[in-house]
Amino acid sequence: MTETPLPIVLVVAVALIDVDGRVLIAKRPEGKKLAGLWEFPGGKVEPGERPEAALIRELREELGIEVSESCLAPFVFASHAYDSFHLLMPLYLCRRWDGVVTAREHAGLAWVRPEKLSDYPMPPADEPLVAWLRDLL
Ligand SMILES: Nc1nc2c([nH]c(=O)n2[C@H]2C[C@H](O)[C@@H](COP(=O)(O)OP(=O)(O)OP(=O)(O)O)O2)c(=O)[nH]1
Ligand SMILES: [Mg+2]
């Protein structure tokens, strides 16, 4: 039996880490897919866009912060089949940014210790990422 191929969607995301080792997660707003779940900030890479440029753009749009490319460290990635697409999502780490993190598009923000991340419901694709963060931090 041949599987119906799903379109691969490239999404870039970041774990912002503060000086106390807490990670920023953001609540997806009503009206969006996976609404109410907590996610790592980020979004879809547009055609022709470099992943790092996409992430810098998303962080500006979503959180109002400026991040320089040299502060984005590739960490791990998620590869997860949703019903209608296959998500490929590199997760970067970032410990330096300019500006104050503000929820411009999300329903809420939380700075969370890695061992407490499991208290926040996240999309299924994120579960392995959370485990890696717990190991790292
Ligand atoms: N940003 C982000 N997206 C995630 C995570 N986990 C996960 O399954 N996703 C999925 C949800 C969405 O289907 C897709 C990212 O879409 P998005 O809604 O953030 O995309 P975007 O910021 O470009 O927003 P839009 O313009 O498409 O509305 O990836 C995560 O931790 N962070
Ligand atoms: Mg987004």
CB 29 within 8 A of CB 13: no
State whether the Cα torsion 133-124-36-71 is positive or negative: positive
Q: What is the spatial distance between Cα 44 and Cα 68, in angstroms, rounded to a whole number?
A: 19
Q: What is the spatial distance between Cα 30 and Cα 3, in angstroms, rounded to a whole number?
A: 32
Residue 42, CA atoms < 13 Å, CB-side half-sphere = 28
User: What is the distance in A from the centroid of ligand 2 to the CA of 108?
Assistant: 13
User: Residue 1: pLDDT band by 50, 70, 90 thresholds?
Assistant: low
Q: Which residues contact ligand 1 via a Cβ below 6 A?
A: 11, 13, 32-34, 39-40, 42-44, 58, 87, 123, 125-126
* Alpha carbon 39 to chain centroid, angstroms: 6
CB 76 within 8 A of CB 91: yes
- Write down the pTM of the prediction: 0.95
CATH homologous superfamily for 17-136?
Answer: Nucleoside Triphosphate Pyrophosphohydrolase (3.90.79.10)
CA-CA-CA-CA torsion for 90, 101, 105, 120, nearest 10 degrees? 60
Tens digits of residue pLDDT in 9-59: 999 999 999 999 999 999 999 999 999 999 999 999 999 999 999 999 999
User: Residue 115: pLDDT band by 50, 70, 90 thresholds?
Assistant: very high
Task: Name the residue of 44, 55, 84, 122 whose CB sits within 8 Å of the most ligand 1 atoms, as the mutation to test its pocket.
Answer: 44
Q: What is the spatial distance between Cα 86 and Cα 17, in angstroms, rounded to a whole number?
A: 27
